[in-house]
Chains A and B, each alone.
Chain A
Amino acid sequence: MIPKIRSGIAGFDNLTGGLPENTMTLVYGPPKTGKSIFCYQFLRQSVEEGDLCTYLMTDYSLSQLEQQMMTFNWFIHDYISNKRLYVIDTASGSVGAIQKETKNMMVSFPQNPTDIASKLIQQLQSVYQQAQRFRSILDSSTTLFAFNSPILIIRVLKSYTMRIKMAGGTGLITYTEGSVEPQIETMLKATVDNIIHLDGEELTIEAMAGLKHEKASYRISDEGIVVQ
């Protein structure tokens, strides 16, 4: 029996029993198919269960995340002020933002994976002292690919995945389909344990321990992704 954790996505947990604990899952698909919303729901479940969560955000700031989630009536303000969320923000990188850095709110830059890795380690040290298990989100690897040599980012994601798993985390990495060469995409898939594809209508589990190639239709409602 593989231990699983709830993804927070209605229907998905019924279909799969949840995400295998202490693994890394790739959520990928074309633009606007709900990859980030998948992340929000995963974070909301973290809030629900009182888990710690690390969040590497490359396309939006923390306050934008909070606003986005609010449109679904999901509130993370208390979760943030209780220091349960550990953010590395590479989207709003400016010198002004760096000056307000704390352990829970760090700023880095998409073209500097060395710096991202060193900040992640600092956060994982804090997380690890508090909990044996936690969640982690990287939304989105697409931006990292865009700013760097793709092969370098494959190395970075390997290191990232290893770190999260070693520290006891269960994680998500998002990626926009077709934004890098097919062979890089293949390497990306080889980096993670589970693969979920979203195409706007169907959610396909391309790989997950103990599961066959599952497929289900889904829609994005005002309660987020609902898997039928």
Chain B
Amino acid sequence: MVTDAECKRKTYIPMLDELLGGGMPAGTSILFTAMPGVTSEVFGYQIIAERMRNETDVCFIYTNTRTPVEIEHVFQRYGWDLRSFLDSDQAFFIDSISPMMGMPAIGKYSIDDFRESEKTITNAISDIAGGIAVIEDISTLLDSIGVDPTFDLIERLNKEARSNDVNMIYMFTRWNYEKVMLDRLSDIVDCEIKLFSVEEKVIYRQVFAITKSNWIKTSGAKIFFEVLEPGGVRIFIPKLLVTGPYNAGKTTFTKAIAPDTVSVERQTFELFPTTVGLDIGHIDYKGFSADVFGTPGQERFDLLLEPLGREAIGTFIVIDSTKPETFVRAKEMIRMCRTEAIPKVIIANKQDLPNALSPDEIKKRMALWEDVPIVPVSAANRQGLDEALDILFSLIYRI
């Protein structure tokens, strides 16, 4: 049986496919509406780059803002090879910028008058049946040929795309347009994804949210993202906390999931190096990007727990599976970090040791949080790490 999700075409933007119920139905249109200042072009480029690589789709980019040479360079910065797809005709340009700048056009098609856009783009759509088209940028069209001609153009292109099973990706920078116009624009596409920022005077976090979709009920979830070069769109998790009792292996665990972790530590008399400040690292994993903060475990640093826990949106509680006497302390630390209410996963560490308790036994002994997952891990042997990350990320975003 073919499930609903299998009929959909993945966007390869992390989280977006989950939110869209698997991706885009063939022949539909998506409008990316970006507030000025938010990194937006990467969304369209990532979709076609990944689909060309993974699904062998045929694609084109219509551009009136960047020359084809610049676009190729932007792809390169994100680590995607556009050149070989251009060479094999799996991708081509409709160059609507070079002629207007008095430069020779590059690509299969070119447009030197915006009013001729419809015929050329329609032809290009029929060339790529079953593929993807990126149209960049709608705001230039709106202000050049006017609102009604632009809307007519989009509606005709969508019609052509539907009959050719082509997905249309429209990029739109939302300068100060009238709300009525914005609503009308939203009406003529199948799906609208808004890219905006949560800010305090200047942008500090970029967010995407599906505000309209014809094929799935939208939850209104706001997804924080950042853009990596190379890499592309990553889901941004502002802060993950790693806490747990003394000598449970928090630093080992943090370093195992975030290899570049910097620790503030010193040699103690017990011959164990122990964290006296904090561990700070960064994870780039399956489309998620997260900063990780590890807390110290000793009681004399308890005052640090509350400030470290502030703004964390997920917690790993690392415990030593061979030391049930420390489990009470683990629970106390969660309370002190004020992280009772955020998603958490218990890391039953040191599973490689012979006297380690099983996750079930640990759950029984800790006697708390029926719904908190316990993952058997051996941080020293890098076992169970992916499972721990998968579970926590899915709890955070309720995938």
Contacts and interface: CB of A to CB of B under 8 A. Distances in A.
B175 interface: yes
Interface in B46-105: 64-67, 69-70, 73, 97, 100-101
A128 B175 contact: no
Contacts of B201: 128, 166-168
B137 A114 contact: yes
Contact of B101 (A111, A113, A124): A111
Interface stretch (A8-16, A29-37, A153-161): A153-161
Given A113-B173, A147-B101, A156-B175, A120 B144 contact: no
B57 to A, nearest CB: 25
Given A117-B36, A121-B203, A152-B139, A109 B66 contact: yes
A159 B174 CA distance: 10
B39 A118 contact: yes
Nearest to A163: B37
Nearest to B199: A166
A219 to B, nearest CB: 37
Nearest to A121: B37
Contacts of B39: 118
Given A109-B66, A120-B37, A155-B176, A128 B143 contact: no
Contacts of B176: 155, 158-159
B101 A118 contact: no
A114 B42 CA distance: 12
Interface string A103-119: 00000010111110110
B157 to A, nearest CB: 20
Contact of B143 (A118, A149, A163): A149
B341 interface: no
A151 interface: yes
Contacts of A155: 139, 143, 175-177
A113 B176 CA distance: 13
B34 interface: yes
B25 to A, nearest CB: 28
A143 B36 CA distance: 20
Contacts of A168: 201
Given A95-B73, A159-B176, A167-B201, A151 B36 contact: no
A98 B65 CA distance: 16
Interface in A114-154: 114-115, 117-118, 120-121, 124-125, 128, 147-149, 151-152
Contacts of B269: none
Interface string B28-48: 000000101111110000000
Given A149-B143, A149-B144, A163-B37, A98 B73 contact: yes
Contacts of A128: 201-202
B140 A117 contact: no
Nearest to A151: B143
A113 B175 CA distance: 10
Contacts of B36: 113-114, 117-118, 156, 159
B40 A114 contact: yes
B204 interface: yes
Contacts of B38: 118, 121
B173 A117 contact: yes
A98 B67 CA distance: 14
A114 B202 contact: no
26 contacts: A98-B70, A98-B73, A111-B64, A111-B100, A113-B173, A115-B65, A117-B36, A118-B36, A118-B37, A118-B38, A121-B202, A125-B203, A148-B143, A151-B143, A152-B140, A152-B143, A155-B175, A155-B176, A155-B177, A156-B36, A156-B175, A158-B175, A158-B176, A159-B37, A167-B202, A168-B201
Closest 6 CB pairs of A and B: A155-B175, A121-B37, A152-B143, A149-B143, A117-B36, A114-B173
Given A114-B40, A149-B144, 17 more contacts: A95-B69, A98-B73, A109-B66, A111-B100, A111-B101, A112-B66, A112-B70, A114-B41, A114-B173, A115-B65, A118-B37, A120-B37, A121-B38, A121-B202, A148-B143, A159-B175, A163-B202
